[in-house]
Amino acid sequence: MDLKDIQNLIKFVAKSGASEVKLETDDVKITIKTGGDDKGETTTYVQQIPVGAPVAQAPVVQQQPVAATPETAAPVAEDSKYITIKSPIIGTLYRKPSPDKPLFVEVGQTISEGDVLCIIEAMKLFNEIESEVSGKIVKILVDDASPVEFDQPLFLVDPS
């Protein structure tokens, strides 16, 4: 099961109104819990199990949604002409493939659809994050080797 399948499953469960869904295959164990209509929260746990390894329970992490304040909403209005590239997964973001290599992208650089923008490490797996749009990098919103959350803005791209 790849990242796109997991994201689609999360969206489907959130729209379906189910309160909890568990999916277990040979190598992946997924639990999705929604907080109900009044809260609008969704908690997802994904655990990859190496073939032949004993099954262990993943630690439970609760996250509280962050409400937008006027201070955080104001910069978005001026950047509304830009496309925001967001993190598809939780993990540690790296802006270069290894410590001795150059950065994947820098501010002012023109990118094409499919270009690798960064790597996010999640559970000892390094996932290349590719651009879904073409344009010019206007702003990089996260530092190298910093933790990122699901759906956290990473880059601003000017599509023109």
* Cβ–Cβ < 8 Å for 42, 64: no
Q: Which residue has the higher pLDDT, 30 or 109?
A: 109
Burial class (CB in 10 A: 0-12, 13-18, 19+), 22: exposed
pTM across the whole model: 0.52
**Considering only CA atoms, which of 5, 157, 149, 31 is closest in space to residue 88?**
149
pLDDT at residue 45, rounded to an integer: 57
Domain boundaries, the chain: 3-48, 70-158
Q: Which residues pair with 31 in a beta bridge?
A: 22, 45
Q: Does domain 70-158 have CATH number 1.10.443.10?
A: no
**Is pLDDT at 74 greater than 50 in this prediction?**
no
What is the rounded average pLDDT for all residues in the chain? 78
Residue 47 to residue 31: CA distance in whole angstroms: 9
